[in-house]
Chain A
């Protein structure tokens, strides 16, 4: 069957499935809307968390970045999985014990301050919106390819679908749809990887295939890859660092603590019945995530090798532009792949030297979607990948929008400004907030600050510098008080935002960056995407110093800290 028709059928079928589930499990009450009624099984919750978590950045963006960064791309692999260890050991069980709906609500109570709660809401909105921009980039890429239109049109269509889908469901709908989305996205990711690994190495497990020899030879795949890319002047694949060791260290740390501080992931642990379920649920989430994350490096390495081999099948024998494969033409239509015949020989030269390189634009975000086509896999696999990419982007966008809308309706309106608001009005407000968030993120998605994974990394930096430290101190220190928490959050996120904006533009608007994206101005050579860890350090320091200089928290707050450290008695905690 024609690829386009097949893609429509597969994508259409999966969408019908999600919408069906969303209607079947739609939220009736605010509790169902925010925390799915609090009775989700930990394995199911782990799966939903994995879908929620693995966004367009993981699915579409990450392997593409690793393919071009090589070893340096490991920051994403370690950073986005290692954070779950922090989440499971330091936050999830205690926040579950406390048993409220939202992260700012906990911060407001623990630091006995409406101001703290409002500051937390602002931080949450800033990092969630940045995160949604990354999703929008992914959605734009996926839809533009799938509908064969320009990126901008693809993005508009995507915004419309996200809006319709997220506003309908609430957490209960989202939890069950996300389980379906996880199944779609993991199949879509692993099936092509298994095919490609079999083709290249004869080993069906991509995790082992990457470390195997190329079929019919005794050359290891990674050695061949290293050789191919270095001959064209690129850095060696298996050792190329991301800028410097310091930068890699800080980048990984920033992604890890950002992962543990992302509100839309944290609220997932409010949906399981007991404290021990919150612990194991984080483990299950990581198992489901690890299936994709250990496959990704194989996808990346093999995609890079296949791409290089397509363009230069034998040494010096470059592909003729007129004989370029169909996938090449399709991606040219989206504007995400561009060729310029600089030396006029009608052949494609793809080399590291900018003067001679004729692949003038290869958007990293297209790699995963293009990969099965480059490897000449059957059409149904290609269609499945399109569906998987959309599932990943949609599920995360929905989770994030939920976090944003609950922060606005539950924390700002109900919690601070209009406590007398009815349940119905609160639900309406949260749906309106979602619509606003989609519009804002979509608008910024026309000029994304970076590739999908890069934009998402920025969001993690912001969460790392604001939310994680304050939650951790709230649980592990009795001494940190409201003045400390507020000052810490403000200092952490300001330092990070300032650093990011000066290099990427104010609110990411191009042309407003006052220092430019130039490494010479980087603090210790740390790139803006990685700066969250420094912001977190500032947050911890400021919060502790300010707390020592001001009054101890009141007795009942110190008792609250004691209370959340005891795992039993969750039910009573919920009724507070």
Chain B
């Protein structure tokens, strides 16, 4: 199986890239953003016994990473079906 037309192939790749870019932005935000660059600011907020920045660095970013990959898998599955390039 492959794409029906050249323009389909281009559109598929474009949607793929745009999804990846969005997810990478979130990936960057939770780890480097909340966990490192803004850690001191966020540490002024408490989450139970955790300082928020510390929580992002040691717990929160990891939970987000897991969600990101499964969301990506789901969205790419939809995209493959939309363009008829899924394997069954």
Contact = CB atoms under 8 A, between A and B. Distances in A.
A93 B9 CA distance: 17
Contacts, number: 142
A294 B57 CA distance: 11
B45 interface: no
B73 A78 contact: no
A245 B36 CA distance: 7
A568 B68 CA distance: 23
A280 B68 CA distance: 11
Interface in B5-62: 9, 13, 16, 20, 23-24, 27, 31-32, 35-37, 39-40, 43, 47-51, 54-55, 57-59, 61-62
B36 A81 contact: no
A82 B37 contact: no
Interface in A217-241: 220-223, 238-239
A81 B70 CA distance: 14
A212 interface: yes
B49 A85 contact: no
A220 B54 CA distance: 14
Contacts of A81: 61-62, 65
A85 B69 contact: yes
A249 B32 contact: yes
Contacts of A256: 31
A265 to B, nearest CB: 14
Interface of B: 1-3, 9, 13, 16, 20, 23-24, 27, 31-32, 35-37, 39-40, 43, 47-51, 54-55, 57-59, 61-63, 65-66, 68-70, 72-73, 76-77, 80, 85-87
Contacts of B70: 280, 283
19 contacts: A77-B62, A81-B61, A82-B61, A85-B24, A89-B69, A90-B20, A213-B49, A239-B40, A248-B36, A279-B76, A280-B70, A283-B66, A283-B70, A286-B66, A290-B63, A293-B62, A567-B85, A568-B87, A569-B1
Nearest to A246: B36
A129 B6 CA distance: 45
The 4 A-B pairs with the shortest beta carbon distances in the complex, nearest first, are: A220-B49, A74-B57, A283-B69, A211-B48
Contacts of B36: 74, 245, 248-249, 252
B66 A287 contact: yes
Contact of B57 (A71, A85, A208, A223): A71
A249 B40 CA distance: 14
Interface in A534-576: 562, 565-570
A294 B63 contact: yes
Given A248-B36, A568-B1, A562 B9 contact: yes
Contacts of A221: 49
Contacts of B31: 78, 82, 252, 256
Tell me whether chain B's interface is mostly helix, strand or loop, or mixed.
helix
Given A81-B62, A85-B65, A210-B49, A566 B73 contact: no
A89 B62 CA distance: 16
Nearest to B59: A294
Given A78-B31, A208-B48, A222-B50, 4 more contacts: A77-B58, A77-B62, A253-B32, A283-B66
Contacts of A245: 36-37
Interface in A316-340: none
A421 to B, nearest CB: 33
Contact of B73 (A248, A279, A290): A279
A93 B13 CA distance: 14
A276 B76 contact: yes
A471 to B, nearest CB: 15
Contacts of A84: 65, 69
Nearest to A83: B65
A402 interface: no
Contacts of B43: 238-239
Interface residues of A, number: 52
Contact of B77 (A85, A208, A220, A276): A276
Given A71-B54, A279-B73, A569-B2, A78 B61 contact: yes
Nearest to B1: A568
Contacts of B47: 211
A566 B3 contact: yes
Most chain-A Cβ atoms within 10 A of its Cβ — which of B23, B43, B49, B77? B49
B65 A569 contact: no
A213 B50 CA distance: 10
A223 B77 contact: no
Nearest to B77: A276
Most chain-A Cβ atoms within 10 A of its Cβ — which of B16, B63, B72? B72
A566 B9 contact: yes
A253 B37 CA distance: 13
Nearest to B46: A220
B87 A567 contact: yes
A297 interface: yes
A40 to B, nearest CB: 16
Contacts of A93: 76
Given A85-B23, A274-B87, A283-B69, A568 B49 contact: no
A396 interface: no
A302 B27 CA distance: 28
A88 interface: yes
Nearest to A569: B1
Given A78-B31, A84-B69, A283-B70, A568 B61 contact: no
A193 interface: no
Contacts of A282: 69
A247 B55 CA distance: 20
B80 A89 contact: no
Given A286-B66, A566-B9, A297 B59 contact: yes
B59 A207 contact: yes
